[in-house]
A and B are shown apart, each in its own frame.
Chain A
Amino acid sequence: MSYQYNIGCSLNNLKGVREFIRNSLKGQGVSELEMGAIVLALDEMCSNLMIHAHHCNPDHKISMNIHIPGHQQFVFEIIDDGSMFDINQYQEQELDSLVHEKRKGGLGIRLVKSIMDKVEYLREDGKNICRLTKTI
């Protein structure tokens, strides 16, 4: 089974992204806590992309695909044509130092890495594909 959702890069559209994910995963045996974590990780990826690669320009579009290849196996793809930022190359700061520096940011990537099993980047037909996989 697979689902697709196209989004303009406005942070006001994040709510719609979350609803799309919840609706797509409904009936797939995902607990409320797991659902919450998956929705959170994908929200973080989309908001990062909207802010950093697309400067919140609502005319820029990103797509999200959800594939369910097997029981409780999920593949999420976020596709865009902005500049690519590989979170695997990003070294997160320790929580203590973020607190000490009174930072508001720096938590999103850490959440994504904690929640998802794997995050990969591909380039196809001039587009960036960020593929996140999660097996429950």
Chain B
Amino acid sequence: MVHIKRLQEEGADIIVIIGEIDASSSIELDLAIAKSVGDGYRKILVDCNGLEYISSAGLGVFMSYIEELKDKKVYLVLFGLKERVLNTFSILGLADLLNIRETKSDAKKLADELSV
């Protein structure tokens, strides 16, 4: 079960994930990112403070957007990942391909720098 909401702050779209993302719920993350990109946001911050678990289905959603976001010059930054969740990203080296920061302010700063 996952609960995903979007809110806007200073020109950035913030996707807040609460709960667990597995094969049954990864579609909701996919839809949220698709909507954010579709709405034309160039800075997307993903708040993972409430993300308790992510399986390969969720990792795959982030992976599938890497090229598209690069092409569209959209900057997506994840923040607030718990250690065990970050470890899941790290096992396959996906953490190196995504923008990940500890705090919201660091994530915002990185998105601002990248989008200049």
Q: How many A-B residue pairs have CB under 8 A?
A: 89
With known contacts A47-B22, A105-B60, A95–B93 Cβ distance under 8 A: yes
| In contact, A102 and B83 (Cβ under 8 angstroms) | no
Number of interface residues of B (CB under 8 A): 30
| In contact, B92 and A95 (Cβ under 8 angstroms) | yes
Name which of A32-40, A64-72, A79-87 contacts chain B. A32-40
A109 to chain B, nearest CB (A): 9
Distance in angstroms between the alpha carbons of A98 and B93 in the assembled complex: 13
18 contacts between A and B (CB under 8 A): A15-B22, A32-B83, A33-B87, A36-B53, A36-B84, A37-B87, A40-B56, A40-B88, A47-B22, A95-B93, A95-B97, A102-B64, A102-B67, A104-B57, A104-B60, A104-B61, A104-B63, A107-B60
User: B20, B23, B94: which contacts A47 (Cβ < 8 A)?
Assistant: B23
| In contact, A99 and B88 (Cβ under 8 angstroms) | no
Interfacial chain A residues near B68, Cβ < 8 Å = 102
| In contact, B22 and A95 (Cβ under 8 angstroms) | no
Distance in angstroms between the alpha carbons of A11 and B57 in the assembled complex: 12
Binding site for A on B (CB under 8 A): 1, 20, 22-24, 26, 30, 53, 55-57, 59-61, 63-68, 83-85, 87-88, 91-94, 97
